[in-house]
Structure 1
Amino acid sequence: MHYDVYIIDNLVKFNDFKEYSKDKIKNVNVSLFFHFQDLIEQIEFVDILIVHIDSMEYFNIIEKYLKTEPYTIFIINDNSDLKNIPNSKKYDILYNPLDFDKLIYKIKLYTDNIRNHLQLKKEEEFSNSIINNINYPIFSIDAEQIIFANDHFYELTNCYSTEELNEKYKNHRNIFEKEEGCITNLNNELLNNSKDKNLKVCLKDAQNKKRFFSIQKIYLSHNDTSIIVLNDISHEVEHKHELYKLLYTDNLTKFPNRAKLIEDLQNNTINLKAVALLNINSFKEVNDFFGHKVGDSILIDVAKLLSNSIRNCDYLKLYKFPSDNYCIVSTIESKDDFIELIKKIIESIYKKVFTFEHYEIDIRMTAGISFSDKNNKLITADIALQTAKKDHKDYLIFYDELDKFQEYENNMFWTKKLKSAFINDNIEVYFQPLVNNETLNVDKYECLVRLIDEDGKVVAPFFFLDISKKSNQYTKLTKIVIEKSFKKFENLPFEFSVNISYEDIENVGFLDFIKEMLKKYDVKNRVVFEILEDENIKNYNLLTSFIDEIKNLGCKVAIDDFGSGYSNFEHLLKMNVDYLKIDSSLIKNIAKNENSYKIAKTIIEFAKNLNLKTIAEYVENEEIFNIIKELGATYSQGYYFSAPIPEPNIYEFKKKITNE
């Protein structure tokens, strides 16, 4: 770039400067004027003016001819000359006797700054052109305001300039809406320091509709600004919200369901002090006699009555459990008040006449109450409820001795059975095939534990699995199944799965045992560890770490019983799993229960979005199989294809399917 330097000096004191500066300043043309008329003819555009104080009268005259405001340097004798220069602070100053090198330095400093400014401007224009072509809303901020936005952000906010944006939001802290799980402050410490890609914000668009975005902040230290990149995740948030409603809301009454209570307990968002389970007496008879439409109406009316009974107490909450069951929980210590409340509810239900069209229906309710600190309040309240119904009482409060004798007797019986089975090597593994829904081939097997009784009877785990946990034999049982399964499939070409629980993962040395077995048997690329995600999980970091270790060994991981009510979608997104196994309660009801169908469908679509394969267990008939195949589940497992068998026998199974 070329620069013009004009020197105004009527005393001809700069005659030698032009020659002196010729080789010292590149791309600079120095012109010396000491005739006023010559100066006026060429002064229209100038980059730098150098004015000797003795030529001040010339400068005062030519100011009106200048088309630009040039960088101006005055050469003065001493500070007393400053009073002769109007607005002297806006000009640069050098003193006589003039040092040419200092003047050259001033000129070079100015021209270098201009070049740098132009270069930065070109770079900024280039960056902005690139950003405008990125298909995301992007804007840039300084400490307070928006200084740049691309077209996508203008369209999103219905603004057309940064001035309009700053007028609309006043401060960039006002851009985002307050919404649960969203950040609002762009100077948020979490946003500045975190690599978490799950941070999100909420912003109202041009139609005043709330939109959700993942957010990335890129800090530019050279000019103390930041670039904000937004990625629209509104569809994902809405999808998750709909899924949340399906999973955690009773479809009929719209009150939170049992799964929601379990979720609240698991996340420590509620601290139970008292639980009451309430059941409508002989509700099946009402349904059978009056029909399901009337029955549904009563379920809704009862829910409203219960809700109204506790509406003034923020420490009480109502949950709608499956069928004709309700649950009221309290978060404060007030046993007498809670018991009195349940008594009044039972009495009000008894006095209430429920009407539907021309029907008048009287109903009664029974309640089980628990304040137990030693045992699970939900379980103990249910024990109290069942005992109250058996004893024909309106309500019963759980006490520690209730139902203990039968429990101890059963525990001792199966503990003895397990001990004998371990000694006599009577723990066996059965195998249930998993069928590829596209090819109808058996691609995998699930390994299932069985106990062989003294008389040769095969006993399902329903009878002894929980007892093995109470008697500290559960992990021993798991290890036997793992080794026998590894040995069985070492020379078979199938993928196979074994079940493990959080209790196993928590057990010291369990991971080392798996590593030892993988060294002993060459199955690492074919074994799948099925993990049941339930309310017993206390430390998700431990679970995630275990999964990562297993994956690093070459194994695969499945989440079992997904959709049972304990499944945590937030945690699932952070776990590196391969399969989701849809809970059997959803699959077995998928043909007759719309809610089960919707949840299963949502889970399958959710899994596809995460590139996870899905397994539908409890496929009992052709109707169920056709539905889950249509929904896009990857594999089927159930008695429609095969019961668990003592030996993997793919050839016999293929023959059976072909014959059918």
Structure 2
Amino acid sequence: MRYDVLIISDEQEHFKNFKQYASKIIKNINITLSFECEDVNDALEYTDLLIIDINVHNYFNPLEFYLERNIHTIFLVDYDLHLEKYSIIKEENILYKPLDLDKLILKIKYYTNLVDTNSVLKKEEEFSNSIINNIDYPIFSLANEKVIFSNDHFFKLLNCFSLEEINNKYKNITDIFEKEDGCITNFDNKIFEECENKNIKVCIKSNDTKKYFSLQKILLTHNNTSIMILHDISHEIEHKHELYKLLYTDNLTKFPNRAKLIEELQTNNLVLEAVCLLNINSFKEVNDFFGHKVGDSILIDVAKLINDKIKKSGDHIKLYKFPSDNYCITNTKDSQEDFIELIKNIVESVYKKVFIFELYEIDIRITAGISFSNKNNKLITADIALQSAKKDHKDYLVFYDELDKFQEYENNMLWTKKLKSAFINDNIEVYFQPLVNNRTLKVDKYECLVRLIDEDGKVVAPYFFLDISKKSNQYTKLTKIVLEKSFQKFEHLPFEFSVNISYEDIENPDFLDFIKELLNKYNVENRAVFEILEDESIKNYNLLISFVDEVKSLGCKVAIDDFGSGYSNFEHLLKMNIDYLKIDASLIKNIAINENSYKITKTIIEFAKNLNLKTIAEFVENEEIFNIVRKLGADYSQGYFFSAPMSIPNVMEYNENGDKNHE
């Protein structure tokens, strides 16, 4: 850095060699000598240090002129000069004549060092201010809870034009910041210490719009002060709010959803005294008939109607929109009678209201399940009450302990898990029970029965897992495994064999194709018998008849299982081209002790003979039962009197006396 020194003196001879002498001692110095300088005022503009002979200053300007210029000045003074009239000059600014040039050099060194220090500080401050003013963020500084510095962005943010206006508008620094969840408003020393290491979130209202910022503290070294930088994170916060809405708000009705209720229960320690689940009856039919646009409109209108009803009850009642056509009302106040009356009123109001969409007038009914139980999760017990109400065709039902099926649910989950494991480990096996020809007393056929081998190697009967397989959508997979293993087993055995299938299997579009694939793979088409359980699950007899005709055309046979169990459609049965009727076990096991069982069994056998159908009596447990069914004319017998189900088919032959001989 260069230092400009201006020397004004009439002692030309004295300073003639000073310029050269000084430049050797002090680097980066530029000395200008002025003896008759008329442009001294212009020269002062570029001067860092002025050395002037007090005897000649009036030649140029009054003394005050130089002192007011804020330039470091050294006055050269005669020893005998009376300085009383120059009292404004400080002693440290005086050098006496005759002049000692080395003392002058020291003075110049002192002031040039001072100029150097001040210049660095000044330039540092200018540099800092330049950076601060060019940062595109609101910046401010505080002292004693007042703003002592602000850049233009902070002024604009607060809609102010001066520090005085900011401090008048906001009596305390905390007044600048809005109270919002997750935002800091109390700016004490601890907060400032925290924001030195990490950003903290604040909210400021600007032109009636709330904006969110992260606050960062930066320490400035040149004057030991700190500035606060605000980084706008409003977009980020807005994005989080949008995600929050998507996660916790039903998109159609705009009411809080199930996830929101679960979140409140988990994080807000929400305690519910009552829960009600509501479901629109037969809503799928509305969607299918009128279309989803009408269905959506109804979902919205029902939500509004429910909300209008609960608003009158107080803040302790709240509505949530659950998935599909379900709603949930919660109550945090212990008022059971009032809550039940509210639900009854809602159900009745929905029933009375005619929902209009364009030209359609649609009547809607809803069913409600209510729970006050503390025994288990109220959402679960309310759902149990809702399902029970639907099953019993009631408008609403309050949960009571007799409805509790948690033990059943636990059992279902256990066997669902066991089934999954059995599929993975190939532990679904087929056992075989022989059917004896009542005329020849020889084994003509086998029924294939499914078994599950559990992790301990225990053989488990289908009683424990067959219904569970249907509830868990694993039944069709189970049927296919039994079919393939049965076909494989009897491909090289000279017996007919029967496999149980249900209407659910037949409904499956690819089930018949699967059978055809198996018949192509295994040569058993003239020995395979499909036992179909005829019960109330059958919705389409034409589909059933078509399936029977199809498998018969492939060379297989068909039996109707559990015939006479209380659900037999004789009209449709007559249309089916079946081969066997299996008389229900409940009739056969009581045939020796119950007259009605005997009469019904006799009627079935005679009915079958008239249709040229063979009959099979299952559950033949003892010789007495066997003799009765044989005498009545049943063609085949099956039961523990002959053999329990076995893991490998075996040939058994019976003589006329019923004695068992093994081949």
TM-score of the superposed pair, with normalisation by structure 1: 0.47
Q: Which has the larger radius of gyration?
A: 2
Compute the TM-score of the two structures, normalised by the length of structure 2: 0.47
Identify the structure with bigger relative contact order (alpha carbons < 8 Å, sequence gap 6+): 1
